[in-house]
Structure 1
Amino acid sequence: MKTQKFKTNIACGNCLAKVTPLLDAEPKINSWSVDLQSEDRILTVESEEITADEVFKTVLKAGFIAKPA
Structure 2
Amino acid sequence: MKTKQFKTNINCLGCVAKVTPILNPLLGENNWEVNVRDKDKILTVPTENLDEKSLLEQVKNAGFKIEIIS
TM value normalised by structure 2: 0.82
1:52 — aligned with what? 52
1:63 — aligned with what? 63
1:3 — aligned with what? 3
Structure 1 gap segments, 5+ residues each: none
Is residue 40 of structure 2 the alignment partner of residue 40 of structure 1?
Answer: yes
State the one-letter code of the partner of 1:14: G
CA displacement at 1:25 relative to structure 2: 1.5
Structure 2 CA distance for aligned equivalents of residues 2 and 60 of structure 1: 23
State the one-letter code of the partner of 1:42: I
Native 8 Å contact 1:55 1:66 kept in 2: no
1:16 — aligned with what? 16
Question: How many aligned residue pairs are there?
Answer: 67
TM value normalised by structure 1: 0.84
Structure 1 CA distance for aligned equivalents of residues 22 and 52 of structure 2: 15
CA displacement at 1:43 relative to structure 2: 0.1
Shift >3 Å, 4+ stretches = none
